[in-house]
Amino acid sequence: KNEVEQSPQNLTAQEGEFITINCSYSVGISALHWLQQHPGGGIVSLFMLSSGKKKHGRLIATINIQEKHSSLHITASHPRDSAVYICAVKSGWFYFGTGTSLTVIP
Amino acid sequence: DTGVSQNPRHKITKRGQNVTFRCDPISEHNRLYWYRQTLGQGPEFLTYFQNEAQLEKSRLLSDRFSAERPKGSFSTLEIQRTEQGDSAMYLCASSQLQGAWQYFGPGTRLTVT
């Protein structure tokens, strides 16, 4: 069993839809990251969370430490949001989820 | 470009050969991380440095793998006697503080034939 589980694995949405990607983890953590990976491998850090909620533009990330769960929300989705979104936690080592592949259709 | 850079971007090698990758972090970042990513999987942590000191090594980092950061700036990752299972994307990231925002490089894609 992976220390970090993401759902869904694949997601297709129409432009403008509200999107939620979920991340559950089984270890105690000091921080959780949401990452975005575009085709070709480039990875961008979107958020680092240790509690509560953060917002950046159309992206919102929340974390519930007690439930060991985080969500990434995208409001008013756009085709340029199409990418793989990866949840990563630091617990001694760094553990990564396998990612959620998002495709936003115009 | 002041981001994290990695060289080479692609490397094809024959099984048994040694390969070395280089990562140049953002200049003021004192933490540098190496990850490996295989197709369809998320990145796996390999090791990280604070300045020139290697502070953590994953159990994934076998004896064939060695990483250095001799002057606390660029880092190299060497794989000796490569195996087909080493074929992966090797990612480097850097950050300023523990747990802080990590900036990822474009990766080096290794193919072992």
Identity of the residue in B42, B43, B99 whose CB atom sits nearest the CB atom of A48:
B99
Cβ <8 Å between B104 and A30: no
| DSSP assignment of chain B | --S-EEE-SEEEE-TT--EEEEEE--TT--EEEEEEE-TTS--EEEEEEETTEEEEE-TT--TTEEEE-TTSS-EEEEESS--GGG-EEEEEEEESSTT--PEE---EEEEE-
Q: How far, in Å, CA of B79 to CA of B46, rounded?
A: 12
Please name the residue of chain A whose CA is at the shortest distance from the CA of residue B42.
Answer: A98
pLDDT value for B84: 95
Please name the residue of chain B whose CA is at the shortest distance from the CA of residue A86.
Answer: B42
Residue-wise pLDDT tens digits, B3-27: 899 999 999 999 999 999 999 999 8
Q: A–B: how many Cβ contacts below 8 A?
A: 52
3-state SS, residue A26: coil
pLDDT value for B2: 67
pLDDT value for B99: 54
